[in-house]
Each structure stands twice: as structure tokens, then as C-alpha cells.
Structure 1
């Protein structure tokens, strides 16, 4: 399948919303015809189509266009054994490993956003593919070796557990990634689906934000179509459909609670973790050590550092979005906490089972 056919497929699928293309010999449509047997093509385009082709050419300059057969070979024809999570498969192309995401919806918005972001704490898009037979879109990402933060925190039989230094660095990496999309893109990007399963860890356990499928550009928008994951959705978005960067800040606060407590964002009883934390830490007498992940209590872990991160989490989880910190503020605070941790002697928990107050509310 030539590049011209891939371009046509991308126009039809991404911009005109067609999910199926009929490809029968001699069939007419879209201003021309395709002769499958001879390989001849004649494509007539309107002025609007010409503009769309120009837009796509910008993506082609930045990303590699893969053939569908190339991806099928890379994933053993999308065999179940290659499945990573959801509709993401592990594939090997020319000796290099990639994560190949089969899209369930129109990939246009995600491509538009991904083509303008580039940061070490965001999963990098390497290329894409359009299946000419059915118009399915595939996005090809860098492969992040150590999987999701969710699996590290919540799998029942993990191979190893994260220590506090790793968790603090993950929190800081995630803050830097969000700071970038909130402050250094224009228009600003709202991820809308920050959660521990969308935070991936590389070979050095550094964090990268994945899955921009729900992301939107612009701020202070209102929608009636509420999407997201239970336990991470900001109250103002759930109630009024208000889309701002502060909804990412709220979800980030939930991830911090997961890092501290080792608990899921929603309990088996359906209670949100942020609601539990709000109830537990509404007074200065709350016992932070008792609420920490038991794994951390068994390790050498400075409680003062945990309290700092907990205070950041509670600030991010303010019900009034205007009272939440920006990711600039969060990144600065956590950077200081990381510097202080470097001076920690490693003598273990500093307070045992004593009460440790949460100092900033």
C-alpha cells in the first residue's frame, strides 16, 4: 500500500469520520476510483480536502508511518500473548520494542495534541498506522519497560516494592510532566485522565504520563459529556462539567495518596480514597504512620518527608478548585522535599507509632 493510499485513508478516517472504506475493484467514490487489481489510482480532491492533506503532511514530517502488515508481524498478528493492557500490544520492529495502541475511537484529537508535546515525563509517540481495509488507527509509542504505577502499587503478587525515594521521585516526575502540559503548551493541555494506571515507569523507575485519549486543549471549557475514572474525577467536573487544569491537579492528589497509603483510588466498598483521607486528616492529630503503606513502615523512611507529600496531596484535593495549587507550586515543593531526602541519614521511621500532625491545611 503506497503512501498516497495511507494519506487518503487518514483523511477519510480521521477527518471525515468514516470507519469503513469499501475497496472493490472499479468502485467509484470520493471524487475518483481505485483499481485494486492494477494498482492504479486517480484521486480528485476538493479545496477542503487539499487543506486536510496539508495538515496531515505536517504529521508525516514528524512521525513515521507504519504499514499494517509491519505491525501485524511485530505483534504476531496482535496475539493475546503480546497484549500489555486494554488494546495496547508489545511489538518488535527492526529489533526495537514499541507499544502499539489499537484505537477504539477517532485518533484525530489525540494526534493533534501529541504532535505538539515533547517532554521526558510524557510517553513519546513514534508513529502511526491506518489499516486500509477497515480504517482502524494504530498509534506506535515508545515502550516503557516497567509498566504502570498501578501494577507496582496494587498487584497482589509484585516482584518487588517501591521504596519511599522511588515514590517521591515518581511524584516529582509526574508533577513535571503535568507542569509542562499546563504551563508550556499553547493552548494549554488538560489530560483529563490522570491515574496510576496512566503513569508508566521506565527502566530506572522514572515516571512518564501516558494515554492522551481524553485530553483537551484550552481551559475553562464546559462539557455535558462526563468521562473519566471513578475515584479520580474532580467534584466540579462531575457536577458542572468544568474542564480546567485544576481537574488534573485533583487527580494528581489522588495518585499521591496512592503512593503514600498503597491503597486503591476506590475501595472494595466503593469509597473514594480522597474522601477517606479528607475524613482522616481533618484534624492535626491524625496518625500519618498508621495510614502509610505497610511496605513503607517496614523500610527506612523519614516521616517528615511523607508528611510533606501528604500536605501537597490534601492541598491538591481541595473541593474548591481555586484553592488548589498549580503544578508549578507542587513541583517546587516536591523538589525541596527530594533535596531534603538526600540528606536523610536512613535510620528508619522517626516516630514509630506516635501521632504525626499534618501541618498545612
Structure 2
């Protein structure tokens, strides 16, 4: 019932012919881009459904059976705030039947990245403050699902604001996550740990791997609040220090460093709450960073006080609420 509520078709195994038909034989016009996790294509299935297809070339010889536990995990990646899994396809060598390529099929998210709605000068489509809070809640819910909604959980997802896609209803969806299958295809093993101190032991790194995603979420939240990207880890630290200083000051000072597009449409309490949780997510000691559940609670508090402020405010600033009733509850998908 939950899967049906997402409006997604059942997970299935596709044939290579299905995908060739959907992409006009992987024509260059269907090509979206290429990264460390394979080539991406946009396709249209025979029933009219648009999909995103990730093509992975395998570096070692494996049987289809050796990948089935990966595929089982992939098939469970269905959540309102993820670019959800729709199916897979194995292409095998004719001589030994080992897998040469794997295709992972995702729902297609049509409305661009979160950054394009915040930091790239598109003032005519800049998200309002309530919409930014809603997007932040959605991202946090997606992270929570990756950590706790499937077994084993998926951690250290190297989340970037360009990995957050907006659907036609401006619902935020995480489009890239740390699947072991993707690491194997790239010849890599293990998680990214740049958001953890270098002197941590291996056991401590495992204990704090959920806090890597919390740090990355803080970087995304920083851009959502300030309206400008951070070019480097050092740049993030400089902006975080500025934020930490102004959190303890007055309303006018806090608003002065926020994105000009939202300065008049946010309540002081919601802005302060968002700044506080952002600063905590970016703490250098992973033990001091909040849990995803703590992040969600604070974001939902910011949403509630913003909603109350909009109800009481006589301002003509954008104050429409994009929140679904589910956004004001902490969900365990």
C-alpha cells in the first residue's frame, strides 16, 4: 500500500531491448551525463513513463547471482524523498555469461536540481522560505530512510545540493546514494569519510558513519539559508563560523546575511532555528553533531513557527505554505 501511494509501478526486471527502445538505442539525445557512478540516460518506456537509466560497466567478471543481494537492496529504495528504484537489467557476455553491464532504472525527476532553485540567479523561480524548509525536511526524511528504512542501511552518501532534484510539485528527492553495487562497478570499496577527522580509528569511523550524511546535509542547508554555494571545505568552515556568530545576535543581523530572496518572508524564530541546526550539523567533532531524528525535529519546529508567523503576519511577502500534513510529523518509512 505504501509503494502504491508513491504512484510508482512495481519493481521489475527489464530486458536490454526494453531500454534500447526507451532511449532510441541509447541515442546521444537521450544522454544526460556521466560521472563516477556511470552514464545516465533519459528514457521513455512503452507505457509512456519517463525514467532515468544508469549504465554501469563492470570492471571484474561476476555472475548474475553474485549481484542479486545488491539488486535486492536496490529494489527497496522506494521513498517519497528518493529518486526511487523502478528496476534493473543485466547485460552478459556471450562466451561465459558473466555480467558486462548493469542498468539501474530510476523514476525521472523533471524539475532540475535544488541549487537551480536557490543559487543560480533564477529569481523568477527562487524558492520561498517555507518551500526551503519543506525541501530541507524532505532531504532529512530521505537520509533517515537510507539509514533506517532498509537493512542494511546506506550511509556516507556524499550528498551534494546538485544531487537533490525537485519534482513537479517541488518535492525534494535525493538522486544519488552510496550503493555497494556502484562502488564495485567503479573499482572502489568503502565509504567516503572526509567529513570525519583523520585521527579516528576504523571502529569509530563505522560508529559515526551516519554523521557524515548529517555534515553533508549541513552544507546543503548552509546554501539554502545563505543563497550562495561554498566552493571548498574551507569555504564551508568560513561561512559556518559567520553563521555561528550571527545566531547569537539580533534578528536584523541574522536576516542581513540570509539570502536576500527570503529575508522578508521568514520569521525570526524559524530562521534562527534553521541557522542553529545548520551550525550543529557542521561541527568538526562528529559526536557533537545531531542525529537525523534531532535534525528532523528542529526542521519541523521551524516549519510550525513559520506557519504560525504567516498566519499572524500582515506582510505581503510570500508566505504560502507548501507543507503536506506528513511534513509536520517525524516519519519512519
Q: TM-score, normalised by structure 1?
A: 0.67
| Match of residue 96, structure 1, among 31, 39, 49 | 49
Change (3 A) 1:103 1:275: same
Instruction: Describe the shift of the 1:210–1:63 C-alpha distance in structure 2 as closer, same or farther (beyond 3 A).
Output: same
Between structure 1 and structure 2, the one with the greater Rg is: 1
Equivalent in 24, 38, 43 of residue 76 of structure 1: 24
* SS of residue paired to 1:318: coil
Indicate conservation of the 8 Å contact 1:102/1:136, yes or no.
yes
Deviations 1:32-53 (A, max 9, x none): xxxxxxxxxxxxxxxxxxxxxx
Q: Distance in 2 between matches of 1:309 and 1:99?
A: 33
Question: Residue 329 of structure 1: CA displacement?
Answer: 0.9
State the match for 1:208 in structure 2: 173
Distance 1:303 1:76, change over 3 A: farther
Shift of 1:156: 4.7
CA RMSD of aligned residues (A): 3.0
Question: In the aligned structure 1, how far is the partner of 2:16 from the partner of 2:28?
Answer: 17
1:277 aligns with 2:244: no
Contact conserved, 2:142 with 2:173, CA < 8 A, in 1? yes
What is the match of residue 296 of structure 1? Answer: 262
After superposing the two structures, state which structure 1 stretch, 282-291 or 167-176, moved more.
282-291
Contact 1:191-1:214 within 8 A present in 2 as well: no
Greater CA deviation, 273-282 or 174-183? 273-282
The total of aligned residue pairs comes to 274
For structure 1, list consecutive stretches of 5 or more residues without a partner in the other structure: 1-61, 217-222, 350-361
Please tell me whether the aligned partners of residues 99 and 142 of structure 1 are also in contact (alpha carbons under 8 angstroms): yes
CA contact (8 A) 1:83 1:90 kept: yes
Establish whether residue 234 from structure 1 lines up as the match of residue 182 from structure 2.
no
Give the Å deviation of 1:110.
5.6
Distance change >3 Å, CA 259–CA 348, structure 1 → 2: farther
SS at match of 1:235: coil
Gaps of 5+ in 2: 1-9, 60-65, 94-98, 182-187, 318-333
Q: Give the conservation status (yes or no) of the 8 Å contact 1:127–1:140.
A: yes
Question: Which residue is equivalent to 2:279?
Answer: 314
Evaluate the alpha carbon distance shift between residue 262 and residue 338 of structure 1 in structure 2; reply closer, same or farther with a 3 A threshold.
same
Query: 1:142/1:159 Cα in 2 relative to 1: closer, same or farther (>3 Å)?
Result: farther
Deviation, structure 1 residue 198: 1.6
- The within-5 A match list for 1:1-361 is 63-86=11-34, 87-94=39-46, 95-104=48-57, 108=67, 111-132=71-92, 135-157=100-122, 160-214=125-179, 227=192, 233-236=194-197, 242-243=205-206, 244-266=209-231, 270=232, 272-283=234-245, 284-285=248-249, 287-297=253-263, 299-345=264-310, 346=313, 347=315
Q: Secondary structure at the match of 1:121?
A: coil
**Is the 1:261–1:293 contact (alpha carbons within 8 Å) kept by the matching residues of 2?**
yes
